Structure 1
């Protein structure tokens, strides 16, 4: 074993002293979040609220450059993608330490074993850790990751190769997404050895700029700066998530200085912020996002395409937008992804025709109408700032064609769980993309791999088109294939598409270093208060 030189020890002691001195004068940063996290294991969850927390703790092999969809090194310092798009070799960053916490002390640096363990969890149900803690990895499962990855090779301590069964030009970007945050194999072995595998979801250990300290359910999450971070030291010593479900209360807390950054504001809240320019500012981006109503395709009456089309064209989107987006910064969603993304089909249109909707219901065998449940989104989102109001307006539109909709909602975690189990007829959902690629909207949400419960869309003609697009290195051909896929999407109507929206992130004037992501996500690395 090498013994550190005296010079190295003096440098290390000096760096630690500087870090502690910086933290001693650093101001805490409080984020008023909109919902509780479902857990802290990034591979298990795909909601925005959970991802906002886990991305401060975990890192992937790659990242996105701040404010863009461009990939950059993270835990991998370089990579090589084969010309046939069927293999990738990553060279890992050296000298990275996992978090040292009250429940785990790392005995080694990050290496290839951690990468392999993280991805083996996603693709190998027989992995001992998965036997001890069976889990549904939502996003990896929706991507069909187990069928796509042919193998993973440990070339040495700091090189890993991924081999794919078929070409996939979109695959590289997955390594920058929140779900692909790298776990410590050493920590997992400790949990497995002591019979506590499930704690990986409650006591997270990552390599990110902040480490987990504590969580009071539905109240507050406390993170602290990682003293062993491989990147620049953080100027924020304490990062606090104050869970505040009511959007107007978040705005009040922000204006009162009780929080310094808040979850995205609704259109109706912006007037109060505009009156306080000396206190707050608002970051703004036309984000890569969509809100929609998702049908249960497993049970009647929404398993009938004619019923789905009738329910879609009975909705007066113009009236809904006047009520929910008074500033006019949102646009009506026509397809499954925003028009800013390459491959968008400009030939598709929305339709509002209650008379034809009634005729479609009669053709489907519901001449006298029908009854169903409409689930209202229980949290605010930029693309759906008021789920209850949207539900009420849709309920009125559907009543005009003889559809009796009863509105139901649940607490956020329960809402997601029940929807995934297929208990709904129609429920409100949404999506935000990080890569700027059409596939990120289509494959995780509309491929057959995403239909494990049988309640979502699975169309073989659509599937063949997006599979071919992922395998093609020709950007023109990819766009043509996506345009064809959208025609099928619009014909089959698995969703009622609603809105693409501007995202507004309000913050106190003393907050520095904040950069909005293209999907409106919040990242607190290198963010601090003056």
Structure 2
């Protein structure tokens, strides 16, 4: 019997081939560099200002470096711009010793007169930490640092010498050093900032970026492409590529067609159904990343009746997760019953499960006073994400499930950037969203998603603020033993499972696909994609 879904997919790919003219293409970019077909346009080119993985993938590991890095194999913290560091026994004072051979990008709009020094570290950190900093108000917010409350944790940053800084903390932090290796902790050029200030063009710091990373920004046409050139004076291992191009291609089927026609060397996030084509295709390799993410259905707890716990629980009981796993993920995801995946050392494996039970769901809805015919909206991004390959289709499955308990659903789909802006206004009933963890510390799955600070700055998609939950996270962060810390995090997950501001759905494997002559693309957990070591034979 013919698999209709697979047949339809082949037809879409064939259509794209006809449209694009799928002959083998050979041009200067393909020969001398690499073309990455990405899934969307970045908001800007500074990870400090966003939690959007599209923006972070476009700049985090290409344009910038950090003080420290995460070893992708051992997950140990290793030197980067800081060649070494020390701390006092209390863990409140850190000294970082900088490399003296790090050059900034020489671009059409900036020519550096010196190498990296302590002023650049202080400039970069104080931008998001100190409200009086001349560049602080250039961005609307610094969501990751603010939800992690790093701006409150750091008491002071002191310049000891040209190549030594000292960071003083208000209190010890179990995760501070690991935080410095995340994609958000990029180092900017203080000299470039001074130039923009003189020209009264401060806003360009995030759209015409300057960093120390392996590639320098050259050109960006929204919704079309981003062009990078190699940083000739890069301090680390020299990149093998002379140039890097992001071909912005929102449609997954079009990305697939471009890969098969060799118009792209690497494509982002092929859907689970497309893996049926790719897994046996000669000349194509598929690379996966462990499921350190969570897709979820968030309820706007500021809006009645979603402010009632019993309603949220009823909605969860009405959803057939097994149907979602079969029709959306095709076996490439694991069931989620917590924001933390089972691989986390703090995972709570004793949580009460919300098994599919439409009868019980109806009973709870009646108790809450929700009558048959109640109408609600589900917002969904019309773009593939690592944690959710097809949010629109998932919304359709949920809509069908809710119809069985007397709820009428309207699905509203948004372009990715537009969705993120609309969500910050808290006008939604519910939304299909997710989170990609930035580090292995379990706090990173909880605080940026559901803390009160995340709600205040508008990235808590449930708009939920529970002081008890925040207190548990703080107690865990201050704990002097792993056992105590785990106990607090177990309790935090129990609070979430009872209050249910969001309904965890899946922890998904994510993929890139590439031509078999492309090697050493870094596509790893807790990190944006990196082409620093990529090679093309």
Regarding TM over 0.5, the answer is yes
5 Å-filtered alignment, 1:215-230, equals: 215-230=220-235
Task: State whether structure 2 residue 170 is matched by structure 1 residue 135.
Answer: no
Query: Which deviates more, 484-493 or 424-433?
Result: 424-433
The alpha-carbon deviation at position 196 of structure 1 amounts to 0.5
Q: Distance in 2 between matches of 1:288 and 1:325?
A: 15
Partner of 2:475: 468
1:112 matched residue in structure 2: 118
In structure 2, stretches of 5+ residues that fail to align are 1-27
Matched, 1:478 2:482: no
Query: Which residue is 2:415 aligned to?
Result: 411
Match of 1:395 among 395, 399, 402: 399
Deviations 1:472-504 (A, max 9, x none): 231122112111110001011111111101122
Give TM-score, length-normalised by structure 2. 0.91
Higher mean alpha-carbon deviation, 513-522 vs 401-410, is at 513-522
Report the TM-score when normalising by structure 1.
0.92
> 1:338 — aligned with what?
341
Asked if the contact 1:222–1:240 (Cα under 8 Å) also holds between the matched residues in 2, the reply is yes
Distance 1:418 1:68 in 2: 39
Q: Is the 8 A contact 2:183 2:438 kept in 1?
A: no
1:39-95: per-residue Cα shift (whole Å, max 9, x none)? 112211111111111121011111122345321111111122333232322111111
Residues 51 and 178 in structure 1, CA contact (< 8 A), matched pair in contact too: yes
Alignment check: 8 A CA contact 1:292 1:429 kept? yes
Q: Does residue 458 of structure 1 match 2:491?
A: no
Aligned to 1:309: 313
1:251 and 2:256 equivalent? yes
2:290–2:524 CA contact under 8 A, matched in 1: no
* Residue of 68, 78, 84 corresponding to 1:72: 78
2 CA distance for matches of 1:437 and 1:78? Answer: 22
Match of 1:281, SS? Answer: strand
After superposition, the Cα gap between the structure-2 partners of 1:453 and 1:515, relative to the gap in structure 1 and judged at 3 Å, is: closer
Please tell me whether residue 320 in structure 1 is matched to residue 299 in structure 2: no
Q: C-alpha distance in 1, partners of 2:88/2:503?
A: 39
Judged with a 3 Å threshold, the aligned counterparts in structure 2 of structure 1 residues 113 and 521 are, in CA distance, closer, same or farther, namely: closer
After superposition, the Cα gap between the structure-2 partners of 1:256 and 1:24, relative to the gap in structure 1 and judged at 3 Å, is closer
Residue range with higher mean Cα deviation, 449-458 or 34-43: 449-458
TM-fit CA distance, 1:453? 4.8
SS in 1 for 2:465: coil
Instruction: Describe the shift of the 1:24–1:432 C-alpha distance in structure 2 as closer, same or farther (beyond 3 A).
Output: closer
C-alpha separation between the residues in 1 aligned to 2:516 and 2:476?
Answer: 45
1:502 equivalent among 494, 509, 517: 509
**Alpha-carbon distance in 2 for matches of 1:273, 1:24:** 24
Counting only pairs closer than 5 Å after superposition, residues 45-444 of structure 1 correspond to structure 2 as: 45-55=50-60, 56-131=62-137, 133-277=138-282, 279-326=283-330, 328-348=331-351, 349-444=353-448
Cα distance change of structure 1 residues 147 and 515 upon mapping to structure 2, 3 Å threshold: closer
CA deviation string 1:329-387 (max 9, x = no partner): 31111001111011100011232211221222222221345222100122102321111
SS across alignment from 1:153: strand
Q: Secondary structure at the match of 2:32?
A: coil
Change (3 A) 1:431 1:82: farther
Return 209-218 or 362-371, whichever deviates more.
Answer: 362-371
What stretches of structure 1 of length at least 5 have no aligned partner? 1-22
Runs (4+) of structure 1 exceeding 3 A deviation are 23-26
Q: Secondary structure at the match of 1:478?
A: helix
Partners of 1:24 and 1:416 lie apart in 2 by 33
For residue 346 of structure 2, give the secondary structure of its aligned residue in structure 1. coil
Alignment RMSD (CA, Å): 1.8
Aligned counterpart, 2:523 = 516
8 A contact 1:287–1:520 mirrored in 2: no
- 1-structure distance, mates of 2:120, 2:482: 34
Deviates more, 1:432-441 or 1:61-70: 61-70
